[in-house]
């Protein structure tokens, strides 16, 4: 990949969503106006869909906070990847990891026959991916700059 990160790094870094929350604002379209076709994202587990709609009713408060890792939101662990595999991804970007064969196989590698303690270590792989991401060059001076207004590209 362009910045030296692999599909495995993408999966592992996305798993940082094991801690934290998101706002209803970021899931409303997925619940009520999913593209294509409208309605709800068909990949959402029906149990989660009902829970999310209860917390984020249509035309409700978009600032309501939701845990991103249902059932393990206060613990840094691999549970987020299990949620993604089972249709319990709160964010669409996380759910997409299950759509691609390569990223799905990365997730599966942590749960299969060769999973821990023999197979890959989620924690060790997370550290490695964070270090790689931290080594991505930052453009400064004539190559780039600091935005004074973060939402502006000019």
What domains are there in the chain, each with its CATH number?
7-135 (1.10.420.10)
Cis bond leading into 126, ω under 30°? no
Residue 77 marked ligand-binding = yes
* Predicted local distance difference test score (pLDDT) of residue 47: 96
The pLDDT score that the predictor gives to residue 82 is 93
Q: How far apart are CA 21 and CA 66, in angstroms?
A: 5
| Cis amide leading into 36 (omega within 30) | yes
Does 17 appear as a known binding residue? yes
| Two structure tokens written together for 91 | 């964010």
What's the pLDDT score for residue 83? 95
Residue 121, token pair as written in the block = 């270590």
- The C-alpha atoms of residue 32 and residue 133 are separated, in whole angstroms, by 34
Rounded Cα distance between 122 and 10, Å, is 13
pLDDT digits (tens, 9 = 90+) for 54-85: 999 999 999 999 999 999 888 999 999 999 99
| DSSP run (H or E) holding 47 | helix 46-55
Is residue 69 marked as binding? Answer: yes
Low-confidence residues in the chain, pLDDT < 70: 1-2, 112-119, 138-141, 144-147, 151-154
Q: Centre a 10 Å sphere on the Cβ of residue 146 and count the other Cβ atoms it contains.
A: 7
DSSP secondary structure letters along 72-120: -TTS-STHHHHHHHTT--SSHHHHGGGTSHHHHHHHHHTTSTT-TTTS-
């Amino acid at each position: 990949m362009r910045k030296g990160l692999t599909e495995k790094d993408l999966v592992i870094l996305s798993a940082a969503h094991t801690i934290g929350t998101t706002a209803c604002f970021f899931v409303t379209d997925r619940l009520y106006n999913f593209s294509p076709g409208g309605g709800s994202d068909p990949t959402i587990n029906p149990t989660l869909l009902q829970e999310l709609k209860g917390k984020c009713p249509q035309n409700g408060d978009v600032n309501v906070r939701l845990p991103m890792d249902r059932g393990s939101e206060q613990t840094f662990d691999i549970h987020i990847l299990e949620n993604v595999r089972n249709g319990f991804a709160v964010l669409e970007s996380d759910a997409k990891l299950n759509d691609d064969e390569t990223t799905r196989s990365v997730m599966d590698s942590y749960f299969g026959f060769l999973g821990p303690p023999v197979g890959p270590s989620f924690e060790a792989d997370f550290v490695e991916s964070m270090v790689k991401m931290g080594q991505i060059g930052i453009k400064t001076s004539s190559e780039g700059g600091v935005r004074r207004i973060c939402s502006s590209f000019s």
